[in-house]
Amino acid sequence: MAADVEQLLVGYLRPLLETSQVAPAARVCTELDGIDFDAADFVPVVHVAESTTGSMVVPGLDVCEVDIDVYARAIGDFNARTVARDLSEEVREWVLAVVAVGAMDGGLTSVNHVSNPGKPARLPYDNSDLRRWSGMYRLWVHSRA
């Protein structure tokens, strides 16, 4: 059975976000339901979503395409654009380094290769107080389950 790459990345990114130089209070999720983007105490959100364009190379080896969006507001002296851009760049560095982690998911899964066609870029968003930056990643995921 193929690994749940969204949950795999959420579990990988959660402790790294706590070390973020940009937004250590940021949260990571696979669903945006229930997030109040207008809340006064809103913290940046890192949203992980697998696209439908991935493929199976052989049983147990999948190529997964994942979009990772960052939604952010201004924090302190940093405007929303700066926070979203800089947090997206931190996430990009971490995702590109996931190969070095080795076995994950109790030893059942490993990411053998990660590619990224370009740096994260700003996307339009309806809320003028928020900025949204998105990056696309292709991961070769080997599952032993």
If DSSP codes are grouped into helix, strand and coil, which group holds residue 62? strand
103 vs 17, more confident: 17
143 vs 71, more confident: 71
Strand pairing class (27-29; 109-115): unpaired
Residue 63 in tokens: 């190529």
Q: Cα torsion at 117, 81, 24, 38 (round to 10°)?
A: -120
**pLDDT beyond 70 at 145:** no
Domain architecture of the chain: domains with CATH: 5-32+39-143 (3.30.2000.30)
Mean pLDDT of 86-105: 90
Q: Cα torsion at 142, 62, 65, 9 (round to 10°)?
A: -30
CA 14 to chain centre: 10
Crossing angle for the helix pair 80-96 and 5-17, nearest 10 degrees? 120
pLDDT at 66: 95
Q: What is the pLDDT of residues 35-55, one digit of tens each?
A: 998 888 899 999 999 987 777
